Structure 1
Amino acid sequence: MKGALLLTAFAASAQSLSIPSPLRQGIEQIASGQNPFATAERYLIELAPGDTQWVTDEEKWALRRDGKRFFDITNTPELGLSQQSKSQATVRFPKKTAYNESVNPLLKELDKKQMKGHLATFTDFHTRYYKSSYGAQSSAWLLDQVNQTLTAAGVGSVRHFEHPWGQHSIIATLPGRSEKTVVIGAHQDSINLFLPSLLAAPGADDDGSGTVTILEALRVLLIDEDILQGRAENTVEFHWYSAEEGGLLGSQAIFQSYESEGRDVKAMLQQDMTGYTHATLEAGEPESVGVITDYVDPGLTSFIKEVVSTYCTIPFIETKCGYACSDHASASKAGYPSAFVIESDFKYSDKKIHTTEDKMEYLDFNHMLQHARLTLGLAYELAFAKFD
């Protein structure tokens, strides 16, 4: 109520001051409860299998503020259609980890200072909203960091996967002996759900934390000589998706492309929010890795539990997040085995996300290091796994 009165007073003052007309009109619209940045364009979203509706951007954000997740399928209506016309062979994952002697020395090379440095710059962008110029700038900066990592190792390639909204996704590829592919993903965009085009969205946890976690895992994976020489059985890709917050737009575009090309993706892991532990510890619960168990591949998820038990120094806890809750859902829809891990039991996850308060100061980099250990261990194990 107090905020509304202040806005009304500010709008009245704007009329008597030398404030440019467009800005004055925007202030007056906000004061009257309107969103001056809203557009009439409508998007087709899917809230559950077969449950679709047309909405505006503002209606999207209202749903998100209400805790609803969805696919925006406006431009990806064919994602998953080929899977409906053919039976998908079940991918068999290892029962136990097999490369402990190779992975354990690599774990010692993971460095939270690297993650802190990258995240400090990444959160300095006013927002990483996918339709903003800041979103495009942050994506260009991230592409450069990935490119520097690959160049220093002398192996692999990285490219933008372009999107019409301006912020492009990023794909880094480490070739193996086959085109069977293992994907490690995070999303690079952030959002302030109240006024996405205007308000700050540092997005430290969501998903700056996942972004720098998998970047650090990539850096250390490239220390291994067998990876450098291309002796892994499978190709490994690291993805940083654009526009996750808009309805999994970037990941849908990529996996629709992979599906149409017949790409052989054996596994996909999403790291979305890896740094917040305060609520867990306040509740008297042990610090743990949250392993999502709904809308995921059970075989891959079981193996991830083994990886956590082997390579992390904290336990896992099973939890659920609902339909279309992060980019792994796009891989699943395309028929690829996918999994998702998060910072905690879902009920204790960060509530500051999607606001100006999603800042680095609230994150636990030791916990992020645990997620990096998981990412590195899984990437290595599956890079050398012999899939049928």
Structure 2
Amino acid sequence: MKFALTALAAVAAASPIFEQETFNSEPGFSLDLNAQRLVQLEGQPPVWMTELDKIKAKAQNIKFFDITDTQDLESFAATSHVKFEFPATPTATDKVTSVIKTLSTKGPRANLEKFSSFRTRYYRSDTGKDSQQWLLSKIQDITKSASSSLKELVNLSEFSHSWGQNSIILSINGSTTPDEVVIVSAHQDSTNMWPFLPAPGADDDGSGTVTILEAYRALVAADFKPERTVQFHWYSAEEGGLLGSQAVAKEYAARSVKVVAMNQFDMTAWVKKGTREEAGIITDFVNEDLTAFNKKLVDTYLDIPYVETKCGYACSDHASWGKAGYASGFTIESSFENSNHYIHSANDRIDISEEFSFTHMLEFSKLAVAFAIELGGWA
């Protein structure tokens, strides 16, 4: 596949340190730019391209699935997944409100300061693995604070991947219908246009990562014991073509797991100067009924309104679950055109602009809590 010359390619041409043989021996990375990958773009048959071509495509904002290891994922959409109806209106307002009152910006700020301090969380880097292990330890710390009876319901595991940075799955087992699963998710990896450059990824998707982590903390503090199983997922390798979420979705679909719904939180911190503070509700490549329910949750529990917006094909991990035939949705910090323009650069930092807002992130923690309780139930 041929790509037009970009700023990325121009940097490579001008800088000897970006010669391909140097790339392939870069310390701290396990990345072969000549490796062949099967990539699927919107409306086109899959094509083989090199890892370097994938990087060029991403730099041009071309969205794609890397389906090298998940070529049959779409076939599961034709199987008889259980279809669930979503409530006409929220029904657990007292319980949701009691939990969201305990949410704080203190934990997310401290966690994101650390999480974005890794030079990069690129999924094929040593620091990407280190950041994943740090995140795992934070989830473990929160779980240790749970009541003894809640701990018996919690299962924390790593979903192993060949590239080294694993996805993380936290499950609170349901008491009434444990075979039905509600998923709250974010992706933990980050990238720069060249993966070997610094990528603090404070907003993309450090913000979503700590947003749902704060929701989990508040639920643990409230001794939340759901009727359905509620899971929190932190995916690896979203920036590599939704690799981690595709692997997890395929494994769930192969086991015929009854996923009620999954909701992705990717970028939750940015409020563009001069715009109204809003929660972006993605309306393309999502489940319409779940999206309508998400709007009702925003209206009921958030202090800001929603705005409908679109982000395109394969733009985040919800697309993997939709491809597998499950109901998936996606909420983002704003309308897509007003979202953070520093992503995929060394400037995706907490301190780069007053537009980075922890109180805005808190609104999305409210949404994650509401999603978990309203669809998971509370025994």
Q: Which runs of 5+ in 2 are unaligned?
A: 1-7, 25-32
Task: Give the aligned partner of residue 334 of structure 1.
Answer: 324
Equivalent of residue 364 in structure 1, options 345, 357, 365:
357
Tell me if the contact between 2:9 and 2:56 (Cα under 8 Å) persists in the aligned partners: no
Q: Does 1:276 align with 2:270?
A: yes
Q: From the superposition, tell whether residues 6 and 288 of structure 1 become closer, same or farther in structure 2 (CA, over 3 Å).
A: closer
Task: Give the aligned partner of residue 324 of structure 1.
Answer: 314
- The CA distance in 2 between the partners of 1:355 and 1:349, in whole Å, is 14
TM-score for the superposition, normalised by structure 1: 0.87
Q: From the superposition, tell whether residues 4 and 87 of structure 1 become closer, same or farther in structure 2 (CA, over 3 Å).
A: closer
* Cα deviations by residue, 1:105-140 (Å, 9 ceiling, x for unpaired): 211110101000000000111100000000000000
* Cα deviations by residue, 1:77-96 (Å, 9 ceiling, x for unpaired): 11131322x35453210011
Identity across the alignment (%) = 43
Task: Give the aligned partner of residue 188 of structure 2.
Answer: 188
Equivalent of residue 110 in structure 1, options 95, 99, 103:
103
TM-score for the superposition, normalised by structure 2: 0.89
Tell me the matched-pair count. Answer: 354
Task: Give the aligned partner of residue 36 of structure 1.
Answer: 22
* Pairwise CA distance, 1:4: 11
Tell me if the contact between 2:81 and 2:256 (Cα under 8 Å) persists in the aligned partners: no
Q: What letter corresponds to residue 195 of structure 2 in structure 1?
A: P
- The CA distance in 2 between the partners of 1:338 and 1:288, in whole Å, is 21
- The CA distance in 2 between the partners of 1:134 and 1:168, in whole Å, is 12
Where 2:280 maps in the other structure, the secondary structure is strand
Where 1:222 maps in the other structure, the secondary structure is helix
Q: From the superposition, tell whether residues 61 and 104 of structure 1 become closer, same or farther in structure 2 (CA, over 3 Å).
A: same
* Cα deviations by residue, 1:298-352 (Å, 9 ceiling, x for unpaired): 1111010000001100000000011110000111111110000000000011110
Task: Give the aligned partner of residue 294 of structure 2.
Answer: 304
Task: Give the aligned partner of residue 161 of structure 1.
Answer: 159
* Cα deviations by residue, 1:218-259 (Å, 9 ceiling, x for unpaired): 01012234x2xx3x2200000000000000000000010001
Tell me if the contact between 1:94 and 1:385 (Cα under 8 Å) persists in the aligned partners: no
- The CA distance in 2 between the partners of 1:208 and 1:83, in whole Å, is 30
Q: CA RMSD for the aligned pairs?
A: 2.2
- The CA distance in 2 between the partners of 1:300 and 1:7, in whole Å, is 43
- The CA distance in 2 between the partners of 1:35 and 1:348, in whole Å, is 38
Task: Give the aligned partner of residue 124 of structure 2.
Answer: 131
Tell me if the contact between 2:302 and 2:367 (Cα under 8 Å) persists in the aligned partners: yes
- The 5-angstrom pairing of residues 1-388 of structure 1 reads 28=16, 30=18, 36-37=22-23, 39-84=33-78, 86-154=79-147, 155=151, 156-177=154-175, 178=177, 179-193=179-193, 195-197=194-196, 199-225=197-223, 227=224, 230=225, 232-278=226-272, 281-282=273-274, 285-361=275-351, 362=353, 363-384=356-377
Where 1:371 maps in the other structure, the secondary structure is helix
- The CA distance in 1 between the partners of 2:9 and 2:199, in whole Å, is 22
* Pairwise CA distance, 1:67: 1.2
Tell me if the contact between 1:29 and 1:35 (Cα under 8 Å) persists in the aligned partners: no
Q: From the superposition, tell whether residues 323 and 4 of structure 1 become closer, same or farther in structure 2 (CA, over 3 Å).
A: closer
* Cα deviations by residue, 1:144-173 (Å, 9 ceiling, x for unpaired): 100111111142121110000010000000
- The CA distance in 2 between the partners of 1:92 and 1:6, in whole Å, is 51
Larger radius of gyration: 1
- The CA distance in 2 between the partners of 1:105 and 1:251, in whole Å, is 32
* Pairwise CA distance, 1:65: 1.3
Tell me if the contact between 1:150 and 1:157 (Cα under 8 Å) persists in the aligned partners: no
